[in-house]
Amino acid sequence: MGCASSQEHNDRKPRSSSEDDVDIKGLTLDEKVAELNKVFQNNGSEALVVKILCSTEELSDLNQRFTENVGTSIVHACSQSELRDVTVFAIQLLFEPRTVSTAKYLIKCLQNPRNCAAVTEIVSSIEDDERSSFLEQYTESCERDLISDLSGDWQEDAGVKEVLVGMLGNKSSSSCNPEEQATQMVEAMTNGNLFRNDRVFQTLLMQQPKKDVQLIFEAFLKKCQRDITVEIEKHFCDSNQENAKEHFIIMAKVIRHGPLYFAEVIHSLLQEEAVEKQKKLLFLMMCQTQETLSKIKHYYENTFFTSLLADINEEVKDECVKRFLVVKSKEWPRNNLASSGLM
């Protein structure tokens, strides 16, 4: 993310500054451009950049004027600056279309063994009508093939890779009866074929549209009075199956109730100070549609008995990261460039 940098660059604290001396509301577009460029040339405050961007409603106009005046985009300029990687990452999320940001983040996760869970979360989040366009966007943004990348060495469990690849493939077009499919799942569970032999669970994910799998999981819950994740826990109980268990549980939770799952993940990340954890938090907040984010906030409050905004203000230590998250959590009512996307 951004220019090549050392660990020192990753961990550097934002410089204290005279940002409070600048009247952001009183700045014209050209003055904002000048202030941003000054910081990108390492003559100003990172906090001031974040303050300007988070207080500007017409980001597309600001980026256009910056490009006209400086000769390059805000994203490119910040990536060549000495801003911290996490701030550069947030700015990229702010300006790039969500599908582009998601594709770029996904390939970074595929290249980092510590981010395997994020790969499964992203792939499981892709809706049926978005698969083809996202595959194309991934190829365009990363100059790689996602199916080939998912089949590669990022994940040690062949079964997990097979299912994720299958989830991005062509699905059955025949009508689905959730009750009948759930009954078959119960029979397979009884006969020991839910996860092995016939592998009914894996086949379901690979062959049925996501919206149908969600209905089947709901019907299964009603029939058995327990969630499918309970069966995953029971089957993959050996220590050498922990990896498969983790990823199949993620798939089931994201498909069954994505907003609730991501509310729980966001909660677990708020106090994290490691750069990669901060990036994941920013990604999960800034790459959601407003509709999905509203659902996440609803389930967050129902689950943790406090608002997401209150916890961001209380628990996030990095002030620049916090400012991006606070503005996003307040619905970000602006004409930003990242207006289309999948999560």
Mean pLDDT of 41-58: 92
**Helical segments of the chain, H only:** 7-11, 29-40, 46-55, 59-70, 74-79, 85-95, 98-110, 116-125, 131-142, 146-150, 158-167, 178-191, 200-207, 210-224, 228-235, 242-269, 275-286, 290-304, 308-315, 319-329
Compute CA distances 132 → 87, 140, 170, whole Å.
31, 12, 9
Beta-carbon count within 10 A of 235 CB: 18
Beta-carbon count within 10 A of 308 CB: 24
Mean pLDDT of 5-18: 45
Report the range of poorest mean pLDDT among 100-109, 260-269, 312-321, 329-338: 329-338
Model confidence at 337: pLDDT above 60? no
The answer to whether the pTM exceeds 0.85 is yes
Q: Which residue from 274, 299, 304, 261 is spatially nearest to 122, judged by alpha carbons?
A: 261
Model confidence at 172: pLDDT above 80? no
Report the range of poorest mean pLDDT among 18-32, 61-75, 243-257: 18-32
CA distance 194 to 205: 12
Q: Check if the beta carbon of residue 160 is closer than 8 Å to that of residue 205.
A: no
Model confidence at 7: pLDDT above 60? no
**Model confidence pLDDT, tens digit, residues 280-297:** 999 999 999 889 999 999
Mean pLDDT of 20-33: 82
State the pLDDT confidence band at 343, using cuts at 50, 70 and 90: low
Give me the chain's average pLDDT, please: 89
The DSSP result for 101-129, as a single string, is: HHHHHHHHHHT-GGGHHHHHHHHHH--GG
pLDDT computed for residue 170 by the predictor: 77
Structural tokens at position 319: 């002030």
pLDDT computed for residue 148 by the predictor: 96
State the pLDDT confidence band at 108, using cuts at 50, 70 and 90: very high
Mean pLDDT of 17-43: 82
CA distance 143 to 210: 27
The distance from CA 15 to its chain's CA centroid, rounded to whole angstroms, is 28
Model confidence at 57: pLDDT above 90? no
**Model confidence pLDDT, tens digit, residues 306-321:** 999 999 999 999 999 9
Q: Which residue from 307, 284, 239, 253 is spatially nearest to 105, judged by alpha carbons?
A: 284
Model confidence at 87: pLDDT above 80? yes
State the pLDDT confidence band at 17, using cuts at 50, 70 and 90: very low
State the pLDDT confidence band at 144, using cuts at 50, 70 and 90: very high
pLDDT computed for residue 335 by the predictor: 41
pLDDT computed for residue 22 by the predictor: 66
How much of the chain, in percent, has pLDDT values that exceed 90? 78
